[in-house]
Structure formats: C-alpha cells, structure tokens
C-alpha cells in the first residue's frame, strides 16, 4: 500500500508518494497561494495522477508544514521539524545538523545518532533571513529570484549590508544602488547577511558535521556557496531540497501503516 506526505509551506506545497518499499513514486511542487486546503487537495491528486493511482489506493496520508491542519483527509498532522528530521535521516543517514531556509522560516535542527530531533531553533517571527527576504531584494535589484544566486557569483568586491531586517535592508540596498555599487556585489552582500543569520541559528543547536542544507533557498547557488565558505564543514545539498519534509511525512505514514494503526482520517489536532 502506498503512502503520501503533504507539506503545505508558506510559499510552496509539496506532495511525495512512496511505494511499499519507500521508493519515491511521484512528487510535485506547487505554489501555495491563498487557499491552502484547495492546494493540498490538488497537490495530492496531481501526484497520484503522475503515477496513475487513485486516492483510495493511498494507505495513509500525513500532512505537515504551515497548512498542515488543512489537509482534510490526512490521518494526522506532524510538525515540519519532526518530518524534516525523518526525511533527512532516511536519505542521508548519519546527518547531524539540518539547516532549512524556506519561504518565511529558517530552522536549525540538531539530530541524534538515530536521526531523532535533539534540539531545534527557529527564526523570530519576522521574515528576516528567509526566502521572502531574498524575493524582496531580488525585486529591488531587478533580478529574477531564480537567477539571484548565480548573479551573485559575479561579484567583484565585498560590500557589507548591516541589516537583515527586510525593511531596513531594502533601504540599504537602495542607498548602495545610488552610490553606484554594482548589483552583483549587492546580491553577494545579501547572501552573506543571510548566512550570518543562519550561522547564529546553527550556533544555538551546535554545529556538527555533516550539515544538510534544505528548503527552497538551498536551490540558490549563491547561498550554498556562502554557507559552505563560512561553515568550512561538509555541507550536503539534496538534489531536490524542497521535498525532504514531505518524504519524512510519507515515511511517518508508512510507520502507521506498518504498525496497523487505524489510518482512516479521524482527527486533526489544530484549529
């Protein structure tokens, strides 16, 4: 029996379908938008369609992410930190630390020897140092968010941006533009500013090698380079860094199926 994990994040929604041997049958990444219940449903149906299956073929669905309470036919919802730890440990056994930078969250997770969460830290409630910060700054620089990372690799000199508050940093970026600083240098400075923030987050849980870098921001080559340079440790970036949380959710669903726990949707914990 197949299982599914649905991760409804602030920016993107991912669904992963696993077969009985925990192999990924299908996955998709959709833009969350304003209707998380609808996107959760759509994401599951699309993933099922990709592997030619129907909703009744799914043994158990576990939801996670910000919109986890809105996947109405999930057996239960599990926090994204627990799911991410599960997913990372499954793909990279032996990983000790996770850095996850998503749309509005950044998280550092310390893992135990068996992949269990032993400590975690999250950013404060503002979006400083997250994907949203980079999105706003890319807009100011007139660069597409997808190419901001590679754009920053062309930087020639070091520029400092002292603030990572999205509002204040935007003012700083505009000042730098008017001082004639090349946008490539500014882009690199922005990545460095986020890296500083990420390192302080990692410091709270203790950095142990190997570090796995996940989340949408891990697709940004400029960020990956900055993190690797500053950490000086082995940093693993998954091929598809956005779906590990959904993989973890699908693995938890598999556990429930294996333990013969009643997998019919009966309870969603949050309001």
Positions touching another protein (CB under 8 A) are 41, 44-45, 54-56, 66, 72-73, 78-82, 105, 116-118, 120, 122, 125, 265-271
CB of 256 to another protein, least distance (A): 14
Tokens 């998503």 belong to 102
Is the Cβ of residue 70 or residue 152 nearer to another protein in the bound state? 70
Q: Are strands 58-64 and 106-111 parallel, antiparallel or unpaired?
A: unpaired
Is the Cβ of residue 109 or residue 138 nearer to another protein in the bound state? 109
Is the Cβ of residue 43 or residue 220 nearer to another protein in the bound state? 43
CB of 65 to another protein, least distance (A): 9
CB of 35 to another protein, least distance (A): 14
Is the Cβ of residue 55 or residue 167 nearer to another protein in the bound state? 55
Query: Token pair for residue 203?
Result: 């410091």
Is the Cβ of residue 71 or residue 148 nearer to another protein in the bound state? 71
Find all residues with CB under 8 Å of 214, minimum gap 6, and list them: 84, 88, 98, 99, 100, 238, 241, 242, 244, 245
CB of 154 to another protein, least distance (A): 35
Distance between CA atoms of residues 200 and 108, nearest Å: 9
User: Please, how many CA atoms are within 13 Å of residue 220, restricted to the half-sphere of its CB?
Assistant: 31
Q: Of 10, 6, 11, 9, which is closest to residue 28 (Cα–Cα)?
A: 6
CB of 50 to another protein, least distance (A): 16
Q: Can you spell out the DSSP letters for 176-223?
A: HHHTT--HHHHHHHHHHHHHHHHHHHHHHH---SSEEEESGGGG-HHH
């Amino acid at each position: 029996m197949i299982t599914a994990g649905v991760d409804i994040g602030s920016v993107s929604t991912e669904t992963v379908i696993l077969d009985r041997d925990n192999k990924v049958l299908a996955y998709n990444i959709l833009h969350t938008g304003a209707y998380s219940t609808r996107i959760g449903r759509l994401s599951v149906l699309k993933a099922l369609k990709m592997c030619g299956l129907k909703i009744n073929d799914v043994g158990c669905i576990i939801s996670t992410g910000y919109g986890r309470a809105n996947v109405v036919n999930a057996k239960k919802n599990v926090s994204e930190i627990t799911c991410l730890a599960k997913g990372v440990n499954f793909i990279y056994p032996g990983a000790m630390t996770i850095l996850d930078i998503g749309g509005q969250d950044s998280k550092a997770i310390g893992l135990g020897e068996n992949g269990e969460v032993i400590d975690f830290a999250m950013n404060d409630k503002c979006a400083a140092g997250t994907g949203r910060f980079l999105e706003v700054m890319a807009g100011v620089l007139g660069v597409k968010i997808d190419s901001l990372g590679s754009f920053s690799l062309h930087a020639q000199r070091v520029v400092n941006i002292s603030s990572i508050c999205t509002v204040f940093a935007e003012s700083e970026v505009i000042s730098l533009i008017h001082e004639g600083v090349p946008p490539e240098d500014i882009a690199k400075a922005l990545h460095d500013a986020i890296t500083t923030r990420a390192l302080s987050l990692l410091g709270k849980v203790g950095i142990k090698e190997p570090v796995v870098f996940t989340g949408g921001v891990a697709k940004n080559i400029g960020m990956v380079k900055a993190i690797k340079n500053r950490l000086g440790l082995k940093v693993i970036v998954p091929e598809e860094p956005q779906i590990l949380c959904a993989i973890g959710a699908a693995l938890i669903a598999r556990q429930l199926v294996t333990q013969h726990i009643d997998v019919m949707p009966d309870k969603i914990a949050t309001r």
